[in-house]
């Protein structure tokens, strides 16, 4: 019995380490993105499918998420499209669409929120910094129907004891202490 307990504990620790490794790599991927010069561009682009991307010197907040996951071999364009195609009614109708569009669906925050809540883990929304860990995806309401998304990383703010976020709100892919700057409307973890 003790051997079975020991084996179970070792397996549990391996799973935890594998998950921690994944989120550590996701954080590194997000931080790497801050080294690229990217101009904020919310335009519609025709892109390839799967693994399509807009020009590497352009992007919005969702492109930070898409590019960070892509560095880990996860194509959110494909993953979201497949789920949306099979479950179209589960996704928002904010844009009056009657079918999927592989050029833009994954680049919309409400669609990513739906995908992460369906395929990942929805986490509590709190005002406690310690509840937001490196690798977490956070979504905000900026007001006026505008949403935003970013990745919590393992760099703490110099002013307060909380993790910072990699996001693009207009100044390119940057690292900032903005976790509680806007109203949080989504908090997720996603590992395929």
Phi, psi of 47 (to 5 degrees): -130, 165
Whole-model pTM: value is 0.90
For residue 6, pLDDT beyond 70: no
Confidence of residue 3 (pLDDT cuts 50, 70, 90): low
- pLDDT at 12 > cutoff 50: no
pLDDT tier at 9, thresholds 50, 70, 90: very low
The string of pLDDT tens digits covering residues 60-73 is: 999 999 999 999 99
Portion of the chain with pLDDT greater than 90, in percent: 85
pLDDT for residue 8:
46
How would you classify the pairing of strands 39-40 and 58-59? parallel
Q: What is the model's pLDDT at position 2? A: 61
For residue 13, the model assigns a pLDDT of 37
- Among 111, 100, 99, smallest CA distance to 49 is for 100
Range 2-189: architecture per CATH: Alpha-Beta Complex (3.90)
Closest to 42 in 3D by CA, of 88, 109, 100, 99: 109
pLDDT at residue 19 in the model: 53
End-to-end CA distance of the chain: 33
DSSP string, 86-149: HTGGGS--TT--SS--TTTGGGSHHHHHHHHHHHSEE----S-GGG--TT-EEEEEEETTEEEE
Q: How far apart are CA 63 and CA 103, in angstroms?
A: 12
Q: Where are the domains of the chain?
A: 2-189
CA separation for the pair 192, 177 (Å, rounded): 27
Give me the chain's average pLDDT, please. Answer: 92
State the angle between helix axes of 109-119 and 76-86 in degrees (0 to 180), rounded to the nearest 10. Answer: 80
């Amino acid at each position: 019995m003790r051997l079975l307990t020991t084996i179970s504990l070792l397996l549990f620790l391996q799973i935890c380490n594998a998950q921690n490794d994944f989120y550590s790599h996701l954080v590194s991927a997000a931080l790497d993105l801050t080294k690229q010069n990217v101009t904020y561009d919310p335009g519609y682009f025709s892109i390839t499918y799967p693994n399509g991307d807009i020009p590497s010197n352009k992007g919005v907040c969702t492109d930070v998420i898409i590019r960070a996951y892509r560095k880990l071999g996860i194509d959110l364009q494909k993953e979201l499209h497949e789920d949306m195609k099979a479950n179209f009614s589960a996704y928002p109708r904010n844009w009056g669409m009657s079918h999927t569009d592989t050029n833009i669906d994954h680049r919309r925050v409400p669609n990513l929120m739906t995908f992460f809540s369906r395929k990942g883990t929805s986490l509590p929304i709190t005002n406690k910094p310690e509840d937001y860990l490196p690798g977490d995806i956070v979504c905000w309401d900026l007001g006026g129907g505008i949403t935003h998304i970013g990745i919590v990383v393992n760099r703490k703010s110099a002013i307060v004891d909380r993790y910072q976020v990699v996001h693009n709100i207009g100044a390119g892919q940057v690292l900032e202490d903005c976790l509680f700057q806007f109203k949080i409307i989504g908090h997720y973890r996603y590992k395929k």
